[in-house]
Amino acid sequence: MTGKYGIGTMSMALTDSTRSETLTEDARDFRKVMIQLWYPADIAGDGNTVPYIGDELTASLARLHLKGLGIEGNINRAIQAYGTEDAPVSESTATFPVLLFSPGFGLPSTFYRSIVGDIVSHGYVVAAINHPHFSGITVFPDGSLVPSVEIEDPGDFSSAYFDIVLADVKFVVDVLKGLEPGHDLYGRLDLSGFGIYGHSLGGAVAIQTAREIPECKAALSMDGWHPDLQYAHDNLEIPLFFLLSQEESSSPIGMPPDSTYGSQTRYLAILNGASHIGFIDLPYMVDKPVSPARQLGTIDPNTMRATTHAILLAFFDCYLKESSNGALLPIPNPYNATVTMGVEPHITTIERFDLAPAKKQRITLPEAAKEDSVGNSPPEGESQDLPAQIAITGFDKPPGKLPSRKPSLPDTLKHIRGHIKDAHTGEGLPAATIQVTDGLEGFCGTIANEDGGYVLKLRALPAVLKVTSIGYRSEERTIADATTVPLDIPLKLVPIPMRGMLVTADSPATSIMRKVLENKRKRRPMQSYRAEAYERQHWEENQDIAAIRESVVQIFWDKNRGSRSVIRGMRGTTDYAEKMQAADPIWFKDFYQDSMLVQGSWLVLPTHPRALDYYDFTLKGQRYLDDRSVYDLSFEPKRKVNSGFVGTLSVLDEEYALLDIHLCPSPSAAAEFSSALMIGALDFTFRQKFRPFGRGVWLPVDYQYACEIKADALGFHVAFGTVKGTMQLTDYQLDISLPDSIFAKKSSVQIDPLKEDHPFARYPKEAILSERELYVYRTLGAASETEMEAVKTENAQGNPAAPKLFPQLAPEFWFNRVDAAHLGLKTERHFHEKVRLYLNGAYKFGPGRWAYGGGLRSMWGPHHNGSIHIGYQSGSQVRYPSSYYSLIYNSVPAVLGADDYFDYYWNQKTDLEIGYQPEKSRMTLHVALHNESHTSLEKSTDFDILGQNKDFRANPSIEEGYLRSLEWVGTYEDTDRRSNKRVEVGVEYSSKRLLASDFDFTRYHLAADWRIHTFFRQKATPNTLDLHLTAGTSTGTVPLQRFGVLDTVSHILIFFNRSLMHLRFHSMWI
């Protein structure tokens, strides 16, 4: 050890209950992971050493692993290593930075103890991960052994396996974040920014972790490579260090990181004479390994260890501790230059790919000649002449806090801006497309705003911009050097030539769409993508902009799991929160898919494989893009009863790919939305453009939508306003591994936990907004950061922004023949994620009495699957509950003079209820104690709004008294509420003797619902066959207000009569 701390260690066997184990035969198995935690301890000297190979099992496993590597020799049982089991954690500092370590394929993390232990002695906590089935033989605390999968060539390690190992790392991060009080390391880990390093497969995992977990601040890879990383170029903006052995420097592992990986800060070091497996502890585990030159390389093992330790410590000290220790200095980077330094003989080069030359620092290495890094003196006869210092160049200590994202170009090159104009009229061309077409920038682009203005960030020069707009000839511009002058690009109209048309058996539109569908697989071959999006949303009243919200969003799309939007930043006008209460959260749609979920309905899109059976297509016109035809087609469902879309689309000739689509829900679908909303209507329109990128893939470059929000009730139509939005997409990355954690959450809109300092740096208002929008900002002013953070959180939760004075305050209103008008308010407060308080109060104009109540509900259990509720309520209550009609729904026929569905009585009650849902079960159990005081109520009004002077029927009296009872209810319910599959069984017991009740009875009830889907299953309210079974019986004397009920079903316009009540009943409704 070269640090001041002793080393403590503990092991943890973890089970990820969110992932099934796919490599075992039992489908019920969950994924398990073993980690060894190494941490600073207040122990020093020989008391901190333990046998490296302490028992016969460990020795046998070591032989098996070494044999798998083709290495033979005697296991060195005398070797000692630092580390004491369950040693007390050092109290010298409050928290320690955290490193994760991932081993190579087929190797357990225990084979890397030397490169783990030394950095721990300098004040780091290291979580060394064993990946079962991939890290050799994994031993669990119960003695079970998990062998590794058999792969002849590690290059054949599949993407599915890689994703499993990557998910292990994410799971371990979540476990470390969630350590509970009582754990020795609770509160001692600084996880605001961690580092990761690994060897071989583990090195590739380290790089991918840096891409996918925002809290990762630095990653170091030792000979790390995987085929999935070879083309995964992105703008990764955390520092990476590639530490390569000479053996792998010319293999795919040694590909220059500037062409393979997208990090802005990259280091490359090549260890002369080192082999790929020389990073593990082989020299200390085997006395005389066979073929050491071939297997271990020619470098002195102690020199290799000392060099590796120095690089690890210097790199992570710089970016995690942000402490130079006199060895690291800030180095500017104006020219993106490469540094190659002549250093000690065992290091070929250490390069930093974005530094200016001429800065060089020396890092003092530990004196490894006397003692190696696992606690042993070097074998006799081996060289002990180690350099005291090694020259390392390229470390860049950032001034102050390390920025979360750093540009790779000077500020003058961040943005190219200007206008796209009609060459003849000089007017701006809204939604013209601007793309960067060369090199790895091929997935970058933007669209023009309504004035034709655009802004585009470039990551490298030179760059070639291509501008396209249907009906115009495309233009290209080469950006060779830095410029701040606006770049205006005029487009010329394309003359329309007269060309013949080939007549076929199909209509022209059908023939075109048949080719579009045949070519769709070629145009959309990817399984996933990630992109950055800028979204701008308006709230318009009477066609005037009343509020603006802008967002920077990360889009994640998976062919099988759908899309997710992660909000990285938000800004807007001051009154956005109040004006846009009715606006939906940010959501993204890709209309090149087969179908689309809109307001709960799955609607077939015109590019569905069977679209020709579902839609009628008509050729409406022909335009040109450069010298190629663009066909404009209209479409609508073949049958009026079909829920789908109506609209137009544009197809590029020869490619037969979508250029543009403009659509809205069909009348049948719109009627379904209105039916689902009961009293409201949403009129949607959508538009999207597509362009070719990179390998011929066609991707959306924008997404435009509008939604007019109206209220329709009793023949009145009131328009609240219109939400209009435009989303620009850029920086695509195709077929990459997407974070499972994002798709694990049901919410399609989420918040980036890593807050950016300047999320809108590439979207300046003056360049991205139109004059009309800038005027709104100048008039209304910009919202503060605190206001927008609140709006961002509410949008991510799917909740509209609520009024500031009384958040979550809602009105209560209904009308019936007993209460007459009931007017009141109710509110909810969440004091904690587990505790909820609710209150309500109202005045009933019929009886002339106040009704009021409240309650407290708390969740309990490790998964919040238990609940306890206590409540009090005083007010009128329906004598028989209904599964179909609420008091509000019942008010409409009552106020129109129809018969009142319910009977009523006054109930002053206190309830105590305990509920529990077993983990991974659809069953819910409830036990409740009721204490109620019942009195009769009389009819108070015959009023109806039509003035019919009709006498409502009298409200029957009840059996008055105190009712105290115990109730047990068991419920089974499908997790998908729309399936309407539910079974409920209940027993209520009341006793004069045991509970001091005025009633003696036991009541049993059964209710079951089952839904069978028929036709048009994609609708929000599809045609279904609904079966409802209800039954009950009782013993003793049941009061009238506890009789069972056979609920009737009717339409609101067919005025209904009373339900049937009886002591014993059963019925089945269809």
Q: Are 973 and 982 in contact (CB under 8 A)?
A: yes
Shared domain for 49 and 152, answered yes or no, is: yes
At 737 the pLDDT is: 74
At 266 the pLDDT is: 72
**510 lies in some domain:** no
Amino acid at 855: G
Q: Is pLDDT of 253 > 80? A: no
DSSP 3-state of 617: strand
Q: Taking all residues of the chain, what is their mean pLDDT, rounded to a whole number?
A: 75
Confidence of residue 564 (pLDDT cuts 50, 70, 90): confident
The rounded distance, in Å, linking the Cα atoms of 737 and 232 is 9
At 157 the pLDDT is: 53
Confidence of residue 1056 (pLDDT cuts 50, 70, 90): very low
CA nearest to 563, candidates 606, 603, 531: 531
The rounded distance, in Å, linking the Cα atoms of 310 and 648 is 64
Shared domain for 249 and 109, answered yes or no, is: yes
Shared domain for 40 and 166, answered yes or no, is: yes
Number of domains in the chain: 4
Domain at 1049, CATH number: 2.40.160
The percent of the chain in helix, strand and coil, each rounded to the nearest 5, is: 20, 40, 40
Shared domain for 1059 and 967, answered yes or no, is: yes
Q: DSSP label at 961?
A: E
At 1052 the pLDDT is: 37
Q: Is pLDDT of 97 > 50? A: yes
Please state the rounded mean pLDDT for residues 418-431: 88
| Tens-place pLDDT, residues 464-476 | 888 988 888 899 8
Shared domain for 881 and 791, answered yes or no, is: no
The rounded distance, in Å, linking the Cα atoms of 193 and 998 is 65
Shared domain for 342 and 481, answered yes or no, is: no
| Tens-place pLDDT, residues 766-775 | 667 888 888 8
Query: Could you give the percent of the chain with pLDDT greater than 90?
Result: 23
At 875 the pLDDT is: 96
The rounded distance, in Å, linking the Cα atoms of 185 and 11 is 12
Shared domain for 165 and 114, answered yes or no, is: yes
The rounded distance, in Å, linking the Cα atoms of 33 and 26 is 17
The mean-pLDDT minimum among 107-121, 780-794, 994-1008 falls in 780-794
Confidence of residue 524 (pLDDT cuts 50, 70, 90): confident
The mean-pLDDT minimum among 131-140, 272-281, 394-403, 581-590 falls in 394-403
Q: Which of 751, 767, 796 is the last residue of a domain?
A: 796
**195 lies in some domain:** yes
The mean-pLDDT minimum among 50-59, 234-243, 980-989, 1060-1069 falls in 1060-1069
Tokens of residue 212, six digits: 């996918």
Confidence of residue 634 (pLDDT cuts 50, 70, 90): very high
At 55 the pLDDT is: 59
At 674 the pLDDT is: 59
**357 lies in some domain:** yes
The mean-pLDDT minimum among 303-317, 479-493, 957-971 falls in 479-493
Amino acid at 589: K
At 578 the pLDDT is: 58
CA nearest to 344, candidates 408, 403, 300: 300
**What angle separates helix 113-120 from helix 301-316, to the nearest 10 degrees?**
40
Q: Is pLDDT of 72 > 70? A: no
Please state the rounded mean pLDDT for residues 564-580: 75
The mean-pLDDT minimum among 256-260, 908-912, 1004-1008 falls in 256-260
Shared domain for 937 and 959, answered yes or no, is: yes
The mean-pLDDT minimum among 76-80, 82-86, 90-94 falls in 76-80
* pTM for the structure as a whole: 0.45
**353 lies in some domain:** yes
Shared domain for 367 and 435, answered yes or no, is: no
Q: How many CA atoms does the CB half-sphere of 524 hold within 13 Å?
A: 23
Greater confidence, 546 or 234? 546
**1059 lies in some domain:** yes
User: 15-45 as b/e, with b when 16 or more CB fall inside 10 Å?
Assistant: ebeebebeeeeeeeeebbbbbbbbbbbebee
DSSP track, 352-373: ETT--S---EEEEPP-TTTS-T
Q: Which domain holds residue 368?
A: 6-392
Q: Which of 445, 476, 491 is the last residue of a domain?
A: 491
Instruction: Quote the distance between the C-alpha of residue 771 and its chain's center.
Output: 35
Q: Which of 464, 491, 518 is the last residue of a domain?
A: 491
Q: Are 561 and 605 in contact (CB under 8 A)?
A: no
Q: Is pLDDT of 743 > 50? A: yes
DSSP track, 7-68: EEEEEEEEEEEEEE-TTSS-TTPEEEEEEEEEEEES--GGGGEEESS-SHHHHHHHHHHHHH
At 385 the pLDDT is: 35
**307 lies in some domain:** yes
CA nearest to 592, candidates 443, 692, 467: 692
**Backbone dihedral angles phi then psi of residue 137, each to the nearest 5 degrees:** -95, 120
Greater confidence, 194 or 569? 194
Tokens of residue 630, six digits: 């663009």
Domain at 451, CATH number: 2.60.40.1120
Domain at 217, CATH number: 3.40.50.1820
Q: Are 592 and 607 in contact (CB under 8 A)?
A: yes
Shared domain for 1043 and 920, answered yes or no, is: yes
**405 lies in some domain:** no
Please state the rounded mean pLDDT for residues 68-79: 64
| Tens-place pLDDT, residues 681-718 | 678 899 999 988 766 788 888 899 888 877 654 445 56
**997 lies in some domain:** yes
Shared domain for 289 and 229, answered yes or no, is: yes
Shared domain for 740 and 861, answered yes or no, is: no
The rounded distance, in Å, linking the Cα atoms of 1031 and 914 is 25
Confidence of residue 393 (pLDDT cuts 50, 70, 90): very low
